[in-house]
Structure 1
Amino acid sequence: MLDRRHVLAGALTSTMVGWSNRPAMSAAPIGAAELGPPQPFSFDDLKQRAKALSKEAYVAPPQPDAGDPLKGMTFDTFAQAVYKPEMELWRGAPGAQTVRLFPQGRFYAEPVGIYVIENNAAREVVYSPDYFNMPGDHPLRKLKSAGFAGFRLMSRGGTSDWLAYLGASYFRASDPYDQYGGSARGLAINTGEPEEFPRFTNFWLEPNSSGMTIYALLEGKSVTGAYRMDSRRIEGGQGGALQDIECELYFRAPVHLLGVAPLTGMFWYGENSGSFRGDWRPEVHDCDGLSMWTGRGERIWRPLSNPPRIVTNSFLDENPKGYGLIQRDRNFENYQDDSLFYDRRPSMWVEPLSDWGNGSIKLVQLPTPNETEDNIVAFWNPEHPVEAGSVVNARYRLYWGLDSPPAGDVARIVATRIGLGGLGGRDLDLRHTKPGARKFMIDVEGKTLENEVRGGPQVVVTSSHGTISGVEAFPVIGTKRWRMMFDLGDLNGQAADIRAYLAKDGQALSETWIYQIFP
Structure 2
Amino acid sequence: MRRPRGLNFNSIARGNPLRRRDLLAASLTLPFAGRPLYSAMVGEASAQDKGVPFEAASVRAWARELAQKPYKPPDNKLPDPLKDLTYDRYRMIRFVPEQALWRGENLPFQLQFFHRGFYYANRVDIFEVKDGLATPIVYSPAMFSFGDQPVPDIKTNLGFAGFRIHGPINRPDYFDEIGVFLGASYFRAVAKGLSYGLSARGLSLNTADPKGEEFPNFRTFWVERPAKGASSIVVHALLDSESAAAAYRFTIRPGETTIYDIEATLFPRVQIEQIGLATLTSMYFFGANDRGGVDDFRPEVHDSDGLGIQNGRGEQIWRPLNNPADLQVSAFIDNNPRGFGLLQRQRDFHTYEDLEARYERRPSAWIEPIGDWGEGAVHLVEIPTTTEINDNVVSFWRPRAPTRAKGEYAYTYRIHWGTRMPKPLPLAQVVATRIGAGADETRLIVIDFVGENLKGIAPAEIKGTVSFDKGKVRNVVAHPNPETAGTRLSFQLAPGSEKAVELRAQLFRGEDALSEVWMDRWTP
TM-score of the superposition, structure 1-length normalised?
Answer: 0.90
Check conservation: 2:140, 2:154, Cα contact below 8 A.
Answer: no
2:191 aligned with 1:175, yes or no? yes
Deviations 1:404-441 (A, max 9, x none): 124232000000001112xxxxxxxxxxx112x11110
Candidates 216, 231, 240, aligned match of 1:198 = 216
2:86 aligned with 1:74, yes or no? yes
Candidates 74, 83, 89, aligned match of 2:101 = 89
2:22 aligned with 1:32, yes or no? yes
The answer for the alignment partner of 2:114 in structure 1 is: 102
Check conservation: 1:324, 1:348, Cα contact below 8 A.
Answer: yes
Residue 490 of structure 1 deviates from its aligned partner by 4.1
The answer for the alignment partner of 1:358 in structure 2 is: 375
SS in 2 for 1:355: coil
2:504 aligned with 1:510, yes or no? no
Residue 511 of structure 1 deviates from its aligned partner by 0.6
Residue 162 of structure 1 deviates from its aligned partner by 1.3
Residue 380 of structure 1 deviates from its aligned partner by 0.6
SS in 1 for 2:271: coil
The answer for the alignment partner of 1:386 in structure 2 is: 403
Check conservation: 2:278, 2:397, Cα contact below 8 A.
Answer: yes
Aligned equivalents of 1:139, 1:357: Cα separation in 2? 53
Residue 158 of structure 1 deviates from its aligned partner by 5.0
Percent identical pairs in the alignment equals 37
Candidates 164, 171, 176, aligned match of 1:160 = 176
Candidates 384, 402, 413, aligned match of 1:367 = 384
2:311 aligned with 1:294, yes or no? yes
Aligned equivalents of 1:43, 1:277: Cα separation in 2? 49
- 5 Å-filtered alignment, 1:18-417, equals 31-35=21-25, 36=27, 37=48, 38-63=51-76, 68-135=80-147, 137-138=149-150, 141=153, 146-156=158-168, 157-158=173-174, 160-193=176-209, 194-208=212-226, 209-234=230-255, 239-417=256-434
Aligned equivalents of 2:495, 2:23: Cα separation in 1? 68
The answer for the alignment partner of 2:16 in structure 1 is: none
Check conservation: 1:182, 1:265, Cα contact below 8 A.
Answer: yes
Instruction: List runs of 5+ in structure 1 lacking aligned partners.
Output: 18-28, 422-432
Check conservation: 1:465, 1:494, Cα contact below 8 A.
Answer: no
How has the CA–CA distance of structure 1 residues 149 and 158 changed in structure 2, closer, same or farther, with 3 Å as cutoff?
farther
Aligned equivalents of 2:146, 2:353: Cα separation in 1? 35
Check conservation: 2:309, 2:318, Cα contact below 8 A.
Answer: yes
Aligned equivalents of 1:248, 1:146: Cα separation in 2? 28
Aligned equivalents of 2:155, 2:478: Cα separation in 1? 65
Deviations 1:110-148 (A, max 9, x none): 110010001111000111111112247447556977221
2:7 aligned with 1:13, yes or no? yes
Residue 159 of structure 1 deviates from its aligned partner by 5.3
In structure 1, give the amino acid aligned to 2:263.
Answer: E
Deviations 1:436-488 (A, max 9, x none): x1111000000111112321111111001011100010011333121011111
Q: In terms of mean alpha carbon deviation, does 200-209 or 371-380 score higher?
A: 200-209
Aligned equivalents of 1:278, 1:70: Cα separation in 2? 39
2:434 aligned with 1:434, yes or no? no
Check conservation: 2:450, 2:484, Cα contact below 8 A.
Answer: no
SS in 2 for 1:9: coil
Instruction: List runs of 5+ in structure 2 lacking aligned partners.
Output: 12-18, 28-47
Check conservation: 1:274, 1:418, Cα contact below 8 A.
Answer: no
Residue 230 of structure 1 deviates from its aligned partner by 0.2
Residue 81 of structure 1 deviates from its aligned partner by 1.8
Deviations 1:168-187 (A, max 9, x none): 01010122324100000100
SS in 2 for 1:50: helix
Aligned equivalents of 1:394, 1:128: Cα separation in 2? 37
Residue 94 of structure 1 deviates from its aligned partner by 2.3
How has the CA–CA distance of structure 1 residues 409 and 158 changed in structure 2, closer, same or farther, with 3 Å as cutoff?
closer
SS in 2 for 1:262: strand
How has the CA–CA distance of structure 1 residues 488 and 186 changed in structure 2, closer, same or farther, with 3 Å as cutoff?
same
Aligned equivalents of 2:153, 2:456: Cα separation in 1? 67
**Runs of 4+ in structure 1 displaced over 6 angstroms?**
142-145
In structure 2, give the amino acid aligned to 1:147.
Answer: G
Residue 283 of structure 1 deviates from its aligned partner by 0.5
Aligned equivalents of 1:64, 1:124: Cα separation in 2? 20
In structure 2, give the amino acid aligned to 1:303.
Answer: P
SS in 1 for 2:461: coil
Aligned equivalents of 2:150, 2:272: Cα separation in 1? 41
SS in 1 for 2:356: coil
Check conservation: 1:32, 1:86, Cα contact below 8 A.
Answer: no
Aligned equivalents of 1:73, 1:338: Cα separation in 2? 30
Check conservation: 1:176, 1:400, Cα contact below 8 A.
Answer: no
In structure 2, give the amino acid aligned to 1:119.
Answer: D
SS in 2 for 1:148: coil
Deviations 1:344-392 (A, max 9, x none): 0000001011211111000011111100000111111011112221322
How has the CA–CA distance of structure 1 residues 140 and 175 changed in structure 2, closer, same or farther, with 3 Å as cutoff?
farther
Deviations 1:167-222 (A, max 9, x none): 00101012232410000010010111210011100000013421210000001110
In structure 2, give the amino acid aligned to 1:400.
Answer: W
Q: In terms of mean alpha carbon deviation, does 490-499 or 347-356 score higher?
A: 490-499
TM-score of the superposition, structure 2-length normalised?
Answer: 0.89
SS in 1 for 2:342: strand
SS in 2 for 1:448: helix
The answer for the alignment partner of 1:25 in structure 2 is: none
The answer for the alignment partner of 2:15 in structure 1 is: none
Candidates 458, 462, 465, aligned match of 1:460 = 465
Deviations 1:138-167 (A, max 9, x none): 475569772211111113345531111100
